[in-house]
């Protein structure tokens, strides 16, 4: 299998995936905030901030190497995601520990959206609906399996029923639902990295 950036599995052409660097912070924020607007416009749950994410929400993930940037033909931003072992507080409240349970956590998967959700000045191709998201989920599962993690976890907004159904179709199973004060996420899901 081809590799990208050392031990990171490649995506099929024309897509490439790499760790986001400090110069990519604006692109990562643009992808996240366009997806947040798209989610709120469709009333698909409010787990992501309606006003958008700030730089303080992406800088730690870029510094740690958790945030990835997906590009089309090496130039057009297509998606961002974070993969690490840093759990949201809901996992701890449910008695789950990613280190002890050997889980890799997928956070903030955002795909470029068609106009008008692209940031000003962008004119990038958009993938066919449903294809790139599933491809990146499978990439994350392969990445976890290669690193010896038996599980991929994710935390979905409790009210985001369409998104929960999407992850179920992608092979995730519901673990628990946890409601913490001031937080809208808490629907916890997992998928094994080996075949059922």
CB-based contact 68:43 (threshold 8 Å):
no
Give residue-wise pLDDT tens across range 118-169.
Answer: 666 666 667 777 789 999 999 999 999 999 999 999 999 998 898 999 999 9
Residue 24 near residue 58 (C-beta atoms within 8 A): no
Strand 76-84 and strand 67-72: the pairing is antiparallel
pLDDT value, residue 2: 31
Domains of the chain: 3-192 (3.40.630.30)
Neighbours of 182 (CB within 10 A): 4
């Amino acid at each position: 299998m081809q590799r990208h950036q050392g031990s990171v599995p490649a995506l099929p052409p024309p897509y490439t995936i790499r760790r986001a660097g400090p110069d990519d912070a604006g692109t990562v924020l643009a992808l996240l905030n366009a997806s947040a607007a798209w989610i709120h416009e469709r009333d698909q749950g409010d787990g992501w901030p309606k006003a958008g994410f700030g730089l303080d929400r992406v800088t730690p993930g870029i510094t740690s190497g958790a945030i990835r940037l997906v590009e089309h033909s090496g130039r057009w931003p297509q998606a961002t995601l974070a993969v690490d072992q840093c759990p949201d507080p809901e996992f701890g409240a449910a008695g789950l520990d990613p280190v002890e349970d050997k889980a890799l956590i997928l956070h903030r998967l955002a795909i470029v959206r068609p106009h008008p959700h692209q940031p000003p000045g962008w004119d990038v191709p958009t993938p066919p609906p449903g294809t790139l998201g599933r491809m990146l989920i499978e990439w994350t599962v392969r990445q976890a399996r290669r690193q010896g993690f038996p599980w991929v976890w994710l935390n979905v907004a409790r009210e985001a029923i369409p998104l929960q159904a999407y992850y179920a179709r992608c092979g995730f199973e519901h673990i628990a639902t946890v409601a913490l004060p001031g937080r809208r996420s808490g629907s916890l899901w997992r998928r094994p990295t080996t075949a059922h």
